């Protein structure tokens, strides 16, 4: 066993010593990586440490593949408003961190641990920290705990972790470490492949096709390889990321910025097909000190909070976000855009 990995397993065991129950906090509107990581951690804690846990996540799961994952793998997620977390109850953040705007962390919660792969713009503190931006998926970290501790993995958990890693890394495209490929291979061997096939090929909603059509008409192409798409408030919380992922698949596109105008904030999704991209750096430059961001390598997201200026609500124009994005990429600002569907 690798000494560093062994030390992390030992540290996790020491942190959990005496803990009989804890809460696992997801980010709002959890995706497969978040849910798979939580499901894996839940089984690991129970099998290896005798510690029971409750998974808690805010927002709504709306994407068809995410809903299918919950239904087919029987993942039980409690909504924050439906579960009373005792004031001093231990809590683990998975695929999110304290200080991130994308979770429903209770005020004054006792955060015992954080497992994540996103770069944060703020300092994170907890007795147990395992934050690895070099990993393409949080689920890879949890799967590694099973492997290094030689803890038996349930078939259902292996399926969840396999699906989580595959979707988050886009079938290993966003992976930089051979170690993560090895982890995925070992977990995949234990998965239920017919179930994986059904999870990977869900039916999409009719109204999402309409949303995608509107996004394509709104998208602008900045030659030779940039797409920018500014959108009004979307029907579902995860539509923005879905649209960014779709645009990122275009052959000529290397950088994608999609934004959504909410009542009190702008949401941003950034993608790149460049394996050496640092989308979290670009997100930081676009957002500055006006909001929060998170990301790693080929994908990032963030929020710019609208603020009041001279007694009125300040509304940034979409063109300003485009300007910041192009400037962050070191691209000329005067080049005209053309409709994507020209």
Report residue 314's pLDDT band, with 50, 70 and 90 as the boundaries.
Answer: low
Domains of the chain: 3-200 (3.90.1640.10), 206-339 (3.10.310.30)
Mean pLDDT of 128-135: 94
Residue showing tokens 């005798």: 50
Which candidate, 151, 163, 150, places its Cα nearest to that of 46? 151
Distance CA(19)–CA(127), nearest Å, equals 13
Each residue of 149-178: b (16+ CB within 10 Å) or e? Answer: beeebeebbbbbbbbbbbbbbbeeebbbee
Q: What is the pLDDT of residues 292-302, one digit of tens each?
A: 888 878 888 88
Tokens of 182: 């090895």
Residue, of 229 and 304, whose pLDDT is higher: 229
Mean pLDDT of 41-55: 97
Report residue 317's pLDDT band, with 50, 70 and 90 as the boundaries.
Answer: confident
At residue 311, the pLDDT reads 54
- Angle in degrees, CA 267, 301, 4, rounded to 5: 155
């Amino acid at each position: 066993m690798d000494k560093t990995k062994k030390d992390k397993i030992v540290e996790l065991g020491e942190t959990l010593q005496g803990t009989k129950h804890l809460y696992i906090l997801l980010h709002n509107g959890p995706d497969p990586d978040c849910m798979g990581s939580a499901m894996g951690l839940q089984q690991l804690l129970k099998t290896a440490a005798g510690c029971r846990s409750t998974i808690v996540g805010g927002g709504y799961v709306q994407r068809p593949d995410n809903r299918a994952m919950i239904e087919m793998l029987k993942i039980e997620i409690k909504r924050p408003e439906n579960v009373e977390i005792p004031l001093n109850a231990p809590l683990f953040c998975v695929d999110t961190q304290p200080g991130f705007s994308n979770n429903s962390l209770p005020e004054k919660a006792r955060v015992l641990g954080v497992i994540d792969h996103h770069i944060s713009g703020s300092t994170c503190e907890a007795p147990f920290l395992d934050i690895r931006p070099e990993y393409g998926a949080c689920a890879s970290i949890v799967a590694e705990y099973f492997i290094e501790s030689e803890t038996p993995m349930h078939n259902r958990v292996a399926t969840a972790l396999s699906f989580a890693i595959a979707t988050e890394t886009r079938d290993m495209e966003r992976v930089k470490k051979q170690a993560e490929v090895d982890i995925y291979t070992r977990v995949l061997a234990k998965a239920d492949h017919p179930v994986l096939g059904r999870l990977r090929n869900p039916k999409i909603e009719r109204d999402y096709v309409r949303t995608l059509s509107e996004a394509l008409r709104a998208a602008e192409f900045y030659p030779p390889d940039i797409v920018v798409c500014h959108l009004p408030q979307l029907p579902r919380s995860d539509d923005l990321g879905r649209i960014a992922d779709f645009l990122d698949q275009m052959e000529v596109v290397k950088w994608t910025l999609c934004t959504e105008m909410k009542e009190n904030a702008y949401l941003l999704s950034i993608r790149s097909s460049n394996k050496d991209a640092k989308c979290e750096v670009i997100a930081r430059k676009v957002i500055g000190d006006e909001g929060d961001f998170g990301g790693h390598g080929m994908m990032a997201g963030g929020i710019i909070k609208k603020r009041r200026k001279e007694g009125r609500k300040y509304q940034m124009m979409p063109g300003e976000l485009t300007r910041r994005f192009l400037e962050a990429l070191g691209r000329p600002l005067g080049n005209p855009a053309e409709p994507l569907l020209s």
